[in-house]
Structures are given as C-alpha cells and as structure tokens.
C-alpha cells in the first residue's frame, strides 16, 4: 500500500501537477536576478508555471478527448441516446457530454441538433448541463491541482446535477417552450463515414490547434488573475468573503461567476489561487461551475433556442444545484484538502 501511495503521489504532484516545472522556473528566475520570494517575482513564477503547465495538459487532453470524440459524431450520439429511456437516457446523455466541447457556447449547437432530431427534451438538457461542467479535461486538471478525491466527487456531482436537471425538465413537459424552428425542423439521418486511425489522429490534431487558439487567451487572463490573487490580494480579505466564516460565500461565488465567460482551463488558475488564499473548497468549485455552465454569453445564445420560461427554469436548476454542491464540498473540506 505504501508503494502504491508513493506512486500515486508522484503521478499527482510531478506528472499532473508538474511541481518539478515550478521548481525549475523558480531556479531559472533566481539565476537571472529575480527574487521569487517577493510579490513581483512570485507573480512571474506563478504566471509562467501555470501557463506552461495548463498549455501542456490542454494540448494532451484535447488530443485524447478529440480522438475519443471521433467515435461519437452527432448522428451516432443521437442513435445511442435513442436506445435508452427514462433516467437511463439522461445518464447516458450526461456521460456523452463529458467527451464533447469544453464550454457551454460550443455545446449549445449540439443541444439544438439533438432537440431538433426529436430526442426527449430532458435528455438533451442533461447533455447541455454536463458538457461544459464535467468534461474529461476538468477531471484531469482538477486532479493536478486539488487531488483525485476532489476531482472524482466534482465530476460525480456534476453528472448528478445534469441527470436531475434533465429529469425535472422532462417531468414538467416543457417542450412547448422550445422555439418552433427547432421543434419543426426536418431531420435527415446521414451516417457518418467510418474513419481510420490515421484520420482520427488528424482530426484530433486539428481540434488541438483550433481549440488552443480559442482557449489560450482565456488561459492567459485566468492565470493573470490567479497570479494577482496569489501574490497581491491579502489572504484575510479572501477569507472574510469566501472563507468558512461567511456562510453566504458559496452564493456570492456563484453569483459572481455567472456573468463571466471562460472555460475550465481559464477558471482553474483562479480557483487554485483562491483556495491557496483561504477560500473554502466548495466556494471555489461553485465559482468554477457557475462560470463554465451559466455564463452570460451562453445564456444569450440559448435564448435563441428556447423561450424565457424554460431558460429561467434551466438557470434556476443549475444555480440551485451548483450552490448545493458548493455547500457539500465545504462540509467535506477538511476531509478532501489535507
């Protein structure tokens, strides 16, 4: 057991967490005369380390996930979902969301396609909730910073929100609140061509380039904010707002995160810095969930597809679910963060 624990810690700290990279950057900065113990030097070290680490993880993860995703084009996903009924369909839909795009704005077109294809509305909403919140990338990135227990529970709770949210919408029979151009769309089943391994690799490479160009600015902004929080904002200030002494910290973090727009790669550096400054784990994760799932741009896009009453219901279900998950993680903070 001790050997397995050592191996696991090595993978988490040196492979995923890349602590060696942080130490190397600190050494190099010291060699050129930058004191990493100062706020300025510490900010530079944090920024360079996190940008390089997240970029490496981003490219590797996008390649792997895109390769997997090449087996699940929209037509095949629709056929898979069509084989299941009830809550099982919601669960499978939520799982499919984990191998699709990294933010809500890019998953909305797939949601529209599934809905217009005649899939149950609750099933498509389970997909819409899961896709930006609990993709496979978030699992690995969360493991690299918060550890495997936090990452696994985060993904499980995200799937729970997606399944419950989709099931509630299905039970309330909200189909009439989908815009008519989607409900009445004519759908033609076209079998996707079978790709060979070489074509799947090429597809994955193209996705790496395309997604990296789209996501990298958010990484820079997110890491920049993280460096600012990590080295310049007093810990006492963070603790007073997002720490254990403020019972409304989860709600504040959720409401602050909603108007923002970023993906998991841009929000994790901010979450990492907030946690290091004394914010509660659940409060930080609630902020991440709100940013990735309920961003203002995605709400504007979604409004084109569904009517205000259904949009409001989706917003309330996600917000309440995120807040409850935040308080659950806060209750488990001492157990999960050692």
Asked if pLDDT for residue 163 goes beyond 90, the answer is yes
pLDDT tens sequence across 89-136: 889 888 887 776 555 556 777 777 777 777 888 888 898 888 877 777
pLDDT tens sequence across 312-331: 998 999 899 999 999 999 88
Give me the phi and psi of 306, to 5 degrees please: -130, 155
Q: Using an 8 Å Cβ cutoff, are 306 and 270 in contact?
A: no
* Chain centre to alpha carbon of residue 29: 32
Q: Using an 8 Å Cβ cutoff, are 20 and 13 in contact?
A: no
Q: What percent of the chain has pLDDT over 70?
A: 88
Q: Using an 8 Å Cβ cutoff, are 238 and 278 in contact?
A: yes
How many C-alpha atoms does 245 have within 13 Å on its Cβ side?
7
Q: Using an 8 Å Cβ cutoff, are 290 and 253 in contact?
A: yes
Q: What pLDDT sits at residue 323?
A: 93
- Rounded Cα distance between 227 and 249, Å, is 21
* Chain centre to alpha carbon of residue 246: 25
With a CB cutoff of 8 Å and minimum separation 6, the contacts of 203 are 66, 67, 70, 195
pLDDT tens sequence across 41-91: 988 998 999 889 888 887 887 788 778 777 777 667 777 777 778 888 889
* Chain centre to alpha carbon of residue 198: 29
- pTM listed for this prediction: 0.76
Q: What is the mean pLDDT of residues 136-160?
A: 81
Q: What pLDDT sits at residue 7?
A: 77
Asked if pLDDT for residue 190 goes beyond 60, the answer is no
Read off the tokens for 264: 């998991």
Q: Which of 41-55, 122-136, 175-189, 231-245 has the lowest mean pLDDT?
A: 175-189
Torsion sign over Cα 187, 193, 197, 203: negative
Neighbours of 308 (CB within 10 A): 9
Q: What pLDDT sits at residue 186?
A: 56
| Alpha carbon distances (Å) from 154 to 59, 136, 296 | 22, 11, 23
Average pLDDT, the chain: 81
What's the N-to-C CA distance of the chain in angstroms?
19
With a CB cutoff of 8 Å and minimum separation 6, the contacts of 205 are 63
Helix 296-303 to helix 104-116 angle (10° resolution) is 20
Give the gyration radius of the chain's Cα atoms: 21
Read off the tokens for 176: 């009439």
Burial of 41 from C-beta contacts in 10 A (0-12 / 13-18 / 19+)? middle
Q: What pLDDT sits at residue 101?
A: 56
Q: What pLDDT sits at residue 197?
A: 84
How many C-alpha atoms does 35 have within 13 Å on its Cβ side?
3
């Amino acid at each position: 057991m001790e050997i397995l624990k050592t191996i696991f810690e090595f993978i988490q700290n040196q492979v995923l967490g890349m602590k060696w990279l942080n130490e190397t950057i600190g050494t190099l900065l010291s060699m050129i005369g930058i004191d990493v113990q100062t706020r300025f030097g510490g900010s530079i070290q944090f920024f360079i380390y996190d940008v390089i680490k997240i970029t490496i993880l981003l490219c590797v993860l996008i390649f792997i996930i895109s390769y997997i995703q090449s087996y699940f084009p929209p037509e095949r996903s629709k056929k898979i979902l069509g084989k299941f009924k009830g809550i099982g369909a919601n669960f499978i839909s939520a799982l499919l969301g984990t191998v699709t795009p990294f933010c809500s704005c890019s998953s909305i077109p797939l949601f529209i396609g599934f809905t217009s294809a005649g899939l149950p509305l609750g099933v498509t909403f389970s997909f819409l909730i899961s896709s930006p919140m609990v993709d496979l990338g978030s699992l690995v990135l969360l493991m690299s910073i918060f550890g495997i227990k936090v990452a696994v529970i985060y993904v499980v709770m995200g799937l729970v929100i997606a399944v419950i949210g989709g099931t509630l919408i299905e039970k309330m029979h909200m189909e009439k609140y989908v815009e008519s151009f989607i409900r009445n769309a004519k759908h033609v089943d076209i079998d996707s061509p079978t790709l060979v391994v070489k074509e799947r690799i090429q597809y994955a490479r193209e996705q790496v380039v395309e997604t990296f160009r789209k996501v990298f600015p958010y990484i820079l902004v997110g890491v920049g904010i993280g460096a600012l929080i990590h080295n310049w904002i007093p810990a006492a200030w963070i603790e007073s707002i997002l720490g254990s002494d403020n019972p409304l910290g989860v709600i504040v973090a959720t409401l602050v995160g909603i108007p923002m727009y970023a993906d998991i790669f841009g929000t994790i550096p901010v979450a990492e810095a907030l946690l290091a400054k004394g914010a509660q784990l659940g409060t930080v994760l609630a902020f991440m969930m709100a940013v990735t799932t309920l961003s203002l741009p995605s709400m504007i896009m979604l409004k084109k597809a569904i009517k205000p009453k259904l949009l409001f219901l989706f917003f309330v279900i996600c917000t309440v679910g995120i807040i409850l998950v935040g308080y659950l993680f806060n209750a488990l903070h001492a157990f999960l963060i050692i």
